[in-house]
Homo-oligomer: A and B are copies of this chain.
Amino acid sequence: MALPREYLGQSCSIARALEVVGERWSLLIVRDAFFGLRRFSDFSAHLQIPRAVLTERLEFLVGEGVLGRTPGPGRRFEYELTDKGLELWPVVRTLSQWGDAHYAPDGRRRVFVHAGCGGEPDPLGGCPVCGETVVPAAMVMVPGPGMATGPDADPISVALSLPRPLLEPVT
């Protein structure tokens, strides 16, 4: 699939990266994939975006090799981060860290912890406790002080408000 080339004339790698993941919703789809979402219906329930938009974004991310699409149970497809997609973790984490610092008055909603030692890796995966470089698959996300789930929350949001390993399928 061709790049949309929204940033014609901007040949720097930041512009190229934004052509792939800078489209509205794309990075939230990637975030949800890190959180363990794999099915169209789950992305749809959690993100509450029009199905046509979700379809288009998933197709594009598959075309760019950020997500892989494989047959799942029943006749459903499942979407899973590829190695290239997993490399977006530092982008997701630097964004969330900046958002935590400036737009989380009640505190962080999620904390990402190294399952091995309980340390909190920096956005590049560096663990300040054990010194290892921690991949997302070795992290657990736990609710922070800013986490609040209303009684009308969808099942996916409820599941994601509990401690759970990153990338472990939600459903």
- Listed in ascending order, the chain A residues whose CB lies under 8 Å from chain B are 6-18, 20-22, 24-25, 27-28, 31, 47-48, 84, 87-88, 90-104, 108-110, 122-124
Query: Hey, which chain B residues are within 8 Å of A99, CB to CB?
Result: 12-17
Contact of A13 among B16, B18, B96 (CB under 8 A): B96
From the candidates B9, B14, B103, name the one contacting A27 in the complex (CB within 8 A).
B14
B residues less than 8 Å from A18 (CB atoms): 27-28, 95
With both chains docked as a complex, state the minimum distance between the C-beta of A54 and any C-beta of chain B, in angstroms. Answer: 14
Q: Known interface pairs A12-B96, A110-B12. Does A17 touch B91 (Cβ–Cβ under 8 Å)?
A: no
A42 CB to nearest chain B CB (Å): 15
With both chains docked as a complex, state the minimum distance between the C-beta of A87 and any C-beta of chain B, in angstroms.
6
Number of copies of this chain that the complex holds: 2
Smallest CB-CB A-B distances: 4 pairs:
A13-B99, A17-B99, A16-B103, A90-B94
**Given the contacts A103-B20, A110-B12, A94 and B96 also touching, CB distance less than 8 Å:** no
Give every chain B residue within 8 A of A10 (Cβ-Cβ): 28, 47
> Which single residue of chain B is at the shortest CB-CB distance from A160?
B12
Most buried by B among A27, A98, A102, A123: A98
Chain B residues closer than 8 Å to A27, beta-carbon distance: 14, 18, 22
Q: Which residue of B lies closest to A47 (CB)?
A: B10
Q: Given known contacts A13-B98, A87-B98, A91-B95, what 15 new A-B pairs fall within 8 Å (CB)?
A: A7-B28, A9-B48, A13-B97, A13-B109, A15-B99, A16-B103, A17-B102, A17-B103, A18-B95, A21-B95, A84-B102, A87-B101, A90-B94, A91-B94, A93-B94
